[in-house]
Amino acid sequence: MNVSFAEDMRRIDAQVVQDYGLPAVALMENAGRRTAEEAAAMIGSAADKAFVVFAGGGNNGGDAFAAARHLVNMGARVKLFFMGEEERLGEAARAMYDALRAMGVEIRPLVSDRDWDRLRVSLRFADAIVDGILGTGTHGALRAPVLRLIEEINAAAKPVMAIDVPSGVEADTGRITAAAVRATRTLALGLPKVGHLLGAGANAAGELLVDDIGIPHALLEGEALRQSLITREAAAKLLPPRARDVHKGSCGRILVLAGSLGMTGAAALAAEAALRIGAGLVTLAVPERIYPVLAAKLTEAMVVPIPDEGAGYFGGIQALEAALALAQNMDAVLVGPGLGRKPETSEFVRLFAADVKAPLVMDADAIAAFIGHLDALRDLPQVPILTPHLGEFAALLGKDAEEVAADLLHEAREAARAHQAVFVVKSACTIVVYPDGDAFFTTCGNAGMATAGAGDVLAGTVVGLMRQMESGMTPIVGVYAHGRAGDLAYERSGNGLLAGDILALLPEALKELG
């Protein structure tokens, strides 16, 4: 399923009218009906329930008028408050407004203190609220009356159904400037928006539902949309079935360069993840000083010591030559988990990345090695896959994390294009962004995965898939499998899940894709 910006949906809505001859009022009618149905389902039924519906002056308000009419027809008691100007309503929204008036439904303005007193009383006795104030129309600061209304809605603490986008959330970024409606459910019209998935907007949206509202699917699936969801179906299509005559060599020879004194766990998690996702042979190369720890800990991975002169971290010409020699016969290489950030280690990473010919995944401290050396990243002999979390990504770009988070998709696209790298940016909704601008949003994952080592498991998962499928697509399948394993772990352990729990459930997530 594609993901849209607000302008994408405006273009699609126009095409519905121009190319298919469907009037805008038909889409608004469908949006209102589906909103009413989902609002009723949210609290069990509509009959004899009290709904407070809020409508703004744009198309989102027209959807709210239509929803109110359907709720009345379903037997609900509806109080409707209008924050807009009747004479400025568009043609479709005006038709919905007039239909309500013809039914005898009172449409209350919010102008005087008495209007606001009436609003508070209505909210106190409401069973549910429908938010149709702004939708995709939020940009920058809110007008004082809108901000006041959003605060009243949130203070009521009632179940809220938001139409398209919770009021106050920027549809293109997920940014919330001042305040936003905290929805229980949000019904995305046509397609999910970027703001449903990223930033504070993801929290405000609550449970996200999507309905095509009658828009022809050819428009929703159009190639002009450059971002989409990583669904189970999408991941399964990318991962080919394994032939019966495969052997361990044909399932991927993977090299992992990881670990340093005090950070052996990251190396073990990454190497095991590559094996658990189906790689045939995994070699874990570690500084010589920590070799005994990892050789004892790991059974299935081959652990190889790299000369370190007793330092316990990577660095120096001997280490570089040994690592490059190991990489020569490998199908893919992961470098980064638990490396540490010694200047010698960072230099080792940059020199290794500049010389290695195998597909390259870089995580954590390997990414940090390129802070202040972004030109070197662009000049690498291959297009690397980088798997930073939000803070690492911002640091790489030399920017503040809050600044990057405010428009994450744009920042990731610019970075991928400028530095010719695939970025897998780990956040509440992990995104995969390619140098050509294509972007993919995960549909899996949970708050319990905010635990040490989860990122090491993801990096190992991505590199472990390299030989099993088209290498450029491994981040998409890897992100899905990792998130799905995390969801399975969350079902069992909740917020107490560990990275090892995700690791153990990777085979189950992989099996679901087969």
Q: What is the pTM of this model?
A: 0.93
pLDDT above 70 covers a percentage of the chain that reads 100
What confidence score (pLDDT) does residue 501 get? Answer: 98
CA 437 to chain centre: 16
- Spatial separation of the C-alpha atoms in residues 269 and 457, rounded to whole Å: 6
User: Could you tell me whether strands 439-442 and 360-362 are parallel, antiparallel, or unpaired per DSSP bridges?
Assistant: unpaired
- Spatial separation of the C-alpha atoms in residues 315 and 308, rounded to whole Å: 7
The ranges of the chain with pLDDT < 50 are: none
99-107 contacts at long range (C-beta below 8 A, 24 or more positions apart):
99/65, 99/69, 100/65, 100/68, 100/69, 103/69, 103/72, 105/68, 105/69, 105/72, 105/78, 105/80, 106/80, 107/55, 107/80, 107/81, 107/82
H helix or E strand, kind and range, residue 205: helix 199-205
What confidence score (pLDDT) does residue 92 get? Answer: 96
pLDDT in tens, 468-513: 988 889 999 999 999 999 999 999 999 999 999 999 999 999 999 9
What confidence score (pLDDT) does residue 137 get? Answer: 81
The CA-atom distances, in angstroms, between 61 and each of 26, 39, 64, 209 are 15, 16, 5, 19
Nearest Cα to Cα of residue 453 among 267, 255, 286, 301: 267
What confidence score (pLDDT) does residue 471 get? Answer: 80
- Which amino acid is present at 132? G
Q: Which residue has the tokens 């002169």?
A: 309
A 10 A CB-CB count for 467 gives: 23
What confidence score (pLDDT) does residue 244 get? Answer: 87
pLDDT above 90 covers a percentage of the chain that reads 94
User: DSSP assignment, residue 193?
Assistant: B
SS (H, E, C) 252-306: CEEEEECCCCCCHHHHHHHHHHHHHCCCCEEEEEEEHHHHHHHHHHCCCCEEEEE
Residues paired with residue 376 on neighbouring β-strands, in sequence order: none
- Structural domains of the chain sorted by starting position, each given as residue range(s) with its CATH number in brackets: 6-225 (3.40.50.10260), 232-513 (3.40.1190.20)
Answer whether 434's CB lies under 8 Å from 399's CB. Answer: no
Spatial CB neighbours of 494, under 8 Å, sequence gap ≥ 6 = 448
SS (H, E, C) 413-444: HHHHHHHCCEEEEECCCCEEECCCCCEEEECC
What confidence score (pLDDT) does residue 245 get? Answer: 86
